[in-house]
Amino acid sequence: MYSLKSGKPVRAAVLGSTGSVGTQALDALSHMGCRVVMLAGGRNTELLAEQARLFKPEICTVEDRESAEKLRVALAGENVKVYGGTTAAEEAVASCGADVIFHAIAGLSGLPSALAAAKTGARIGMANKEAIIAAGDLIFEALSASGGELIPVDSEHSAIFQCLAENRALSLSGKADPSVIKRILLTASGGPFYGRTRDELFGVTPEEALRHPTWKMGPKITIDSATLMNKGFEVIEAWRLFGVPYEKIEVLIHRQSIIHSMVEYIDNTVIAQLGLPDMRACVRYALTCPHRADVEESGIDFTKVRNLTFDQPDAEAFPLLFSAKEVIARAGIVPTALIAADEEAVAAFIKGQISFNQISDLVFETIHQTPDAPVRDMADIYAAEKEARILASGILKKYR
Neighbouring-strand partners of residue 311? 253
**Number of Cβ atoms within 10 Å of the Cβ of 164:** 25
pLDDT of 8 higher than 80? no
Domains of the chain and any CATH numbers: 11-153 (3.40.50.720), 163-330 (no CATH)
Question: Rounded to an integer, what distance in angstroms lies between the CA atom of residue 78 and that of residue 139?
Answer: 34
Average pLDDT in the chain: 93
Q: Mean per-residue pLDDT for 131-150?
A: 96
pLDDT digits (tens, 9 = 90+) for 348-357: 999 999 999 9
Q: What is the pLDDT of residue 4?
A: 45
Q: What is the pLDDT of residue 215?
A: 61
pLDDT digits (tens, 9 = 90+) for 20-63: 899 999 999 998 999 999 999 988 999 999 999 999 999 999 99
Q: What is the pTM of this model?
A: 0.92
φ, ψ (nearest 5 deg) of residue 266 = -65, -15
Question: CA-CA distances (angstroms) from residue 132 to 234, 259, 267?
Answer: 10, 23, 30
Question: Rounded to an integer, what distance in angstroms lies between the CA atom of residue 47 and that of residue 272?
Answer: 37
What lies within 8 Å, CB to CB, of 178 at 6+ separation is: 243, 244, 245, 248
Question: Rounded to an integer, what distance in angstroms lies between the CA atom of residue 237 and that of residue 11?
Answer: 27
Comparing CA positions, the residue from 245, 238, 384, 233 lying closest to residue 321 is 233
**Number of Cβ atoms within 10 Å of the Cβ of 121:** 14
pLDDT digits (tens, 9 = 90+) for 355-365: 999 999 999 99
Packing angle between helix 229-242 and helix 129-146, nearest 10 degrees? 10
Give the pLDDT band (50/70/90) at residue 1. very low
Percentage of the chain surpassing pLDDT 90? 82
Comparing CA positions, the residue from 335, 384, 392, 271 lying closest to residue 137 is 335
CA neighbours within 13 Å on the CB side: how many for 272?
14
pLDDT of 2 higher than 50? no
What lies within 8 Å, CB to CB, of 383 at 6+ separation is: 333
Question: Rounded to an integer, what distance in angstroms lies between the CA atom of residue 219 and that of residue 19?
Answer: 11
Q: What is the pLDDT of residue 213?
A: 66
pLDDT of 212 higher than 90? no
- Least confident interval from 237-246, 264-273, 289-298, 382-391: 289-298
pLDDT digits (tens, 9 = 90+) for 146-190: 999 999 999 999 999 999 998 888 876 678 888 999 999 999 999
User: Cα torsion for 177, 179, 182, 188, to the nearest 10°?
Assistant: 20
